[in-house]
Chain A
Amino acid sequence: MPNLEHPAYPASALLQLESLVPCRESQVSMLLSIFGERQQFSFPSIFIYGHTASGKTYVMQTLLNTLKLPHVFVNCVEYFTSRLLLEEILMQLQSHSSETQQTSHVPCENFNDFVRLFKQAVASRELQDQTVYIVLDRAEQLREMEANILPAFLRLQELTDKNVTVVLLTEIVWELFRPNNGCFEPLTLYFPDYSIAHLQKILSQNHPPEYSADFYAAYINILLGVFYMVCRDLKELQHLAVLNFSKYCEPVVRGEANERDTHKLWKNIEPHLKKAMQTVYLREISSSQWERLQHDNGEPGPLKGLSAHTHVELPYYSKFLLIAAYLASYNPARTDKRFFLKHHGKIRKTNSIKKHEKTSSHLIGPKPFPLDRLLAILYSIVDNRVAPTANIFSQITSLVTLQLLSVVGRNDQLDGPRYKCTVSLDFIRAVAR
């Protein structure tokens, strides 16, 4: 295990940092060596990527906080326009040092203003001798803002002529960011996924105070054994661990087993965890419902999950409309005559061709069809006469709002609208019953 060493920072702070970021020592030391000393100019922009919950945000935050480096931390999802983003950065910058004076709202329309205001802010706060870090979390959102934002952030140091470093955090690789007309290449840094040993170590670290660390570690071991196959997301695992821990402790609380009796505990918890995997992990039932279920302890009948209520009640004609739409989407138009007319022509096709069609039509997905065809099929599948009243038409639009049908190519209202059926075969089967 490489110990963190850096001449510029006090050893105590480094030690604390090391204890806070387990399994990320190499990344942290790399970052530290890039950052250099406080007053040294650092690399203008750093690009950090890695899979979900690999500790990018957390490492950045703890690093900057424990070493008390001046920084700004913004989430690009939250500040969804460039203007909001820039203003937020300036606001945070202002509030950093000048606690005494109230932060005032500065309007900042574009990047030019930003550069100007940024210079002012940095100059006014005697920060020239320190590197200011701007961390942009979920930086993939930057690509959807104005075209100049991303390249400008990458060379902010050059533009402002100040000691500043921009750190981008994201889940996707740099190649997907690179604009067409080229830009300053940032320093890329990869955060690998945690391994199972890492997960074990991190999860066992924050054990509840009532129980010993070993006991909790054993529990985490069991939990990982069940869930590691399906889920490697640290956050998700943490959530599950918290939810199921009380159940695990139950025999101990009742006095049936002591903390060392792992086998007994394992027997107790295992079916429970399996059930959790089927329900809570998929968010079929919410965690509060799950807790209540644990509280009741007994089995008050299986709690209905979200997917249990798949049945949809539809009015009589809506059902037929939906079925007609499904038929129109998945059958080629030329077979209509054969299916829906009483005196259809001879079926000449060989079996093999038909089979080929049948498999492919579901793989290709629904095809659009005009309104007239839908109505024609409707008339032929409904037994009694249906008048084309306004009610029928309004039902079609209400099906569209329910996202059971979707409109294809709505540019011309006059032209007969074309629809697509978006529901699955199972759904149609349920409706048709």
Chain B
Amino acid sequence: MGTVCVGGVYPAGCEKKRDTAAHSLLIGSGRGVFIEITHRCSPTLKWLTTSESFQLSRVCDIRNTVGNVPMEWYQDYPHIGYNLDGKKIFKPIRNKDELDEFLDKMENPDYWRTVHDKTTASDIRLTDEQVDLVHRLQKGQFGDVNFNEYEPSVDFFTNEVMIHPVTNRPQDKRSFIPSLIEKEKVSKLVHAIKMGWIKPRKPKETTPQYYDLWAKEDPNAILGRHKMHVPAPKMRLPGHEESYNPPPEYLLTEEERLVWEQQDAEDRKLPFLPQKHSCLRAVPAFSRFIHERFERCLDLYLCPRQRKMRVNVNPEDLIPKLPKPKDLQPFPTTMSLVYRGHTSLVRSISASPTGQWLVSGSDDFTVRFWEVNTGRCMKTLEVGGAVKSVAWNPNPAVCLVAVCFERTVLLLNPSLGDRLVVSSTDQLITAYEPPEEDKEQAVTWALSEGLEHNMGHRLTLTHPKAVKQVVWHGKGDYLSSVMPDNSSNLQVLIHQVSKRRTQNPFRKNKGLVQCVSFHPLRPYFFVATQRYVRVYNLIKQELTKKLMTNCKWISSMAIHPGGDNLICGSYDCRLAWFDLDLSTKPYKMLRHHKKALRGVAYHRNYPLFASGADDGSVIVCHGMVYNDLLQNPLIVPVKVLKGHQITHDLGVLDVTFHPTQPWVFSSGADTTIRLFT
């Protein structure tokens, strides 16, 4: 073994090795391999017996030329390929089935050495040599029997150290002098250390991880930001429904569960579905556990915090302590009479100053006179239009009723009550002497005669526009009528009956006039426009006050008999009480009604006022006004009176008090007038 083998001389066995390698390669891949072997081997099998060679020659003849393709491709054809002559090789007519196979296995002694050739669809019996070859290859031996696999190996290079160098090249200079590159590296490091860029390894920390942090705690130490600090609220503690085995009432029913599933996660009352497990072993992991913890983390650092004051009051304490209604009697409590007769909604009612009669005007073009105590209709007068407003003259010495419809204001003498009063009223009207110089007036005054006189008509005032409201002055001589019109200054007229004179007090239009009223004692005149009430002094002819009602649209107005207080009803469900001495803003705003107010009224003697609204109720309040200027009026609601039916979204249209008794009348859209006593 002392030679150095330089060249690539292979030992003799090498070629054989390759050959066998080819064999072993072929062996590796299944059944088709055997056939390959036969093919390879077939030319060498020359010494076979004649019968066998005949067989083999036949085999050789039908060699398939399709190549190494999957034989499944020929599955659907009658042939399985082509022989050397290009003729089709047909499949055997009858395939072997399992039974044949089995019989073959049992009967054929050579079954074990028979292999099936897919390409030719024939069975081949392996010869002894072939079987031997297969056995050797299966054992992992070389295919060639004569190959010696244990030949002595020959190294390519020697493993001994030689005393002489292989080359004669002299050593480089750089192997004798110090390296510049290394110097550079070292100097860089030195510089970095000098500059503090490279730090020596830090010594291991000696202090323990945990120690008594609060050893020197200062109980008074507070953070600078503590004033504004809002500690995070703690997690909500679980209720019964979160139990793994809750009481049955906490489990959701099927519908509730469906609702829960359809809701958004934010809308859900419970963030989880309550579940019942029969034992602890059956409880699964909660799938949203990490989510919930994460959400809590987010809440802690992302959720804006705010300190909220929670009111902790007993709701009973919030209710104001008012005097008991029982102590504030008398006031109307029950409905005692219903006046039926009208066929359409009753717009307006008015009681006579004696309290014996009641007049009502309705949309059915009639004015009816009722006896209060019996509910009897004394008189019915047809007028030529829907009656908007009726007003009984407040002077007990005069028996006159003002009725307005369309463009007319009619003064009637109902001829009810004292004969003397009736006749003196007639005298009063006939005693008129026309003045010398006839002035042009806004309305025409006409005296009724004949049939109309018999019916009770006395004077007819024809207005240029439709009249909405008539009001008497307390003395009974003056009368005011309202013609709402947004575009002219001719909205309010004041008539004097005894002199048959008409005045237009306003030169300017200040908005749509809703209603007007005379001051009961002093020469003041109240005009309510849509949002304000203006108080004029009639003598000085100037604006005294302008009351801000804070309402959207005033519907009605009433003045306290003392003259210092005023109430306003509005269509936006509010009632404003003004103390004229106090302020021009409402002293009290009452929101008792659910719907628009239509009428308000004061009682002449008793400290009562009432309001009627579209919700069909009349609310009677105790409104005490003290003579002492320092004491504010006391307002206590005492009774809610119900009785009127709501028709066409209208309830009570007008309310008025009995002049002497604590009774209240109300007229409604259900064609009735009701008396509450």
Q: Check if A and B associate.
A: no
Residues of B within 8 A of A (CB): none
